[in-house]
Amino acid sequence: MTSPDVLARVTDQMRAVLDTQAELAADAFATDVDLTVMRRRYAAERAFWNEGGPVMAATVDGVVPGPFGPIAIRAHRPVPADHDLPCIVYVHGGGFVVGDLDTHDRIMRTLAACTGAVVVGVDYRLSPESKFPGAVHECAAVVSHLGVHGGELGIDPAHVSLAGDSGGANLAMATTLYLRDEVPGSPSVECLILYYGMFGLRDSASQRLFGGEWDGMAKADLDYYLDCYTTGPADLASPYLDCLGADLSHGVPPCYVAASALDPLLDDSLALATVLDDLGVHRRLRVFEGVLHGFLHHSRMLPEAVQALEDGADFYRGVLAAVTT
């Protein structure tokens, strides 16, 4: 299959982002290097994009108990309040291999400012040190903990949602399904906000057409991330990784699904939206033209990043209004 000239299709602002990335950290997304080097380059590149942005009324770093030991969290409270606020648990992307609370901090702060909710980031253990389904279990532990102890962070435990980008969107959906299936009495997730997620397709038109060294999403990169995360075919077939193969007919909350038109994972989002439609699950699909996978990071320069966060927040507020009136 002949691939299109992806870089000829990006917006001028996206081109400026790519130029800035090249100056910040060459080969920031290369997967053919030592893991320590890869993580250091990724963190260095992301530092610039996390400067500035909304100022929170309070930011609290803490830990909650987890199945493998304490899990670090970061809670962003957007406004002072004399009452508990709803909560969005945010699961960062990075192919399950890179990323942390710092690399996605501005995304979380912006989402908090746009939604009015407390956004709690989860610093789950990365792969290959922690294999599937470890991250799912840790995210589930955080949601369960907040469902009981959220008041300690000024969170209304009756209103907990999940959000994530890329691999984090997969973990957000997988955590919702895992809580539904395996954790009786767990909090009911009210809404999912899913940015350019990987939901289970192993081959698709978008995976064949898009992805390269410019976004770290070539086929070899995608294979690398899955190899780090999984131990074999059984993991790949699990409904907590292959979410499109899961039973989505019940217990799936309203979903905001955003994608990039030039992303190899585009078809994952389109397929998820189609399945949700067929099952009558309330959803909103938004495809952003002219931007690449990972564009949510670039709100310093990219209007589509701000639009995606604002649009997801608008959907979330509508869902919350429906359940509280």
Domain range for 282: 6-324
Torsion of CA 168, 169, 171, 173, to 10 degrees: 160
Indicate whether 213 belongs to any domain.
yes
Tokens standing for residue 224: 């690398």
* Residue (of 104, 122, 248) closest to 174 by Cα position: 248
| Predicted local confidence at residue 54, as pLDDT | 98
Q: Is 200:238 a contact under the CB 8 Å cutoff?
A: no
Cβ neighbors of 66 (< 8 A, separation 6 or more) are 137, 138, 141, 142
Predicted local distance difference test score (pLDDT) of residue 94 = 98
Q: Which of 293, 297, 298, 311 is catalytic?
A: 293
Q: Does residue 1 belong to any structural domain of this protein?
A: no
The confidence score (pLDDT) of residue 108 equals: 99
Active site residue 166: yes
* DSSP for 165-214, written as a single string: ETHHHHHHHHHHHHHHHH-TTPPPEEEEEEES---S-SS-HHHHHS--TT
pLDDT at 285 over 80: yes
Say if 58 falls within a structural domain.
Answer: yes
Catalytic residue among 263, 267, 268, 311: 263
Here the tokens at position 139 are 């995210």
Domain contains 115: yes
Q: What is the percent of the chain with per-residue pLDDT over 90, rounded to a whole number? A: 96
- 42's enclosing H/E stretch is helix 35-49
pLDDT of 1 over the 80 cut: no
Cα gap 111→162, rounded to integer Å: 12
260 labelled catalytic: no
Each residue's pLDDT tens digit, 46-59 = 999 999 999 999 99
In a domain, 314, yes or no: yes
CB 189 within 8 A of CB 160: yes
76 pLDDT above the threshold of 80 = yes
Span 293-309, average pLDDT? 98
Under 8 Å between Cβ of 177 and 146: no
Q: For 227-246, how does the pLDDT look when each residue is reduced to its tens digit (9 = 90+)?
A: 999 999 999 999 999 999 99
* Phi, psi torsion values for 71, nearest 5 degrees: -115, 125
Mean per-residue pLDDT, 99-118 = 99
Q: Which of 166, 186, 206, 299 is catalytic?
A: 166
Q: Write the CATH number for 194.
A: 3.40.50.1820
- pLDDT-derived band of residue 15, with 50, 70 and 90 as boundaries? very high
Q: How far is C-alpha 298 from the chain's CA centre? A: 15
Look at the chain and report how many structural domains it folds into.
1
- Reference 76, options 47, 104, 48; nearest CA is 104
Assigned token pair, 215: 């976004």
Is the model's pTM score more than 0.95?
yes
Residue 15 tokens read as 């081109």
CA distance 291 to 215: 10
Q: Is residue 297 flagged as an active site residue?
A: no
